Amino acid sequence: PTSIMSLCLSIFSILTISSFALNPLIFRSHRLDPVEIGDVGFYNATYSESNATRCLYFAYGAYCSQSSLESWTCKWCKYIPNFQVTNVTQTDYLQAFVGFDVQYDQIVISFRGTHNVEDWLDDLDALQVAYPGVSGGYVHKGFYDAW
């Protein structure tokens, strides 16, 4: 149950963060022009098993060691070849990686989910707080304080 919860939180982190910049579940057949973006109020993507599985591999990767992520050689990396890791951040009990998915032309940010007691304590701090510098932006207080 703990590993399932951790995986779900990690996937949620990827989807939440990625949807702010580039939604990993939306693979458009064409890029939106700036004029089109202004006209789009809501973009409804359909579920794709292959896209969800791809996101799952990024989520699993966040649990691999820092060195295997930096060299992109962890056991999950083989499922996403040519991914370019630009940063792996590991501090105390936290870990995340950022990179560029060449195949899908997208930036990926993956945070490891709940992994230990310290993470669970941060999860309990579930209030949302205003995110500095972003009008109307809010973030989970435990996540914000941890990072």
pLDDT at 136 > cutoff 50: yes
Range among 19-23, 29-33, 87-91 with highest mean pLDDT value: 87-91
Name every residue whose Cβ is closer than 8 Å to that of residue 55 and which is 6 or more positions away in sequence.
Answer: 11, 14, 15, 18, 24, 25
pLDDT tens, position by position, 96-129: 999 999 998 999 999 887 766 776 776 666 778 8
pLDDT at 67 > cutoff 80: yes
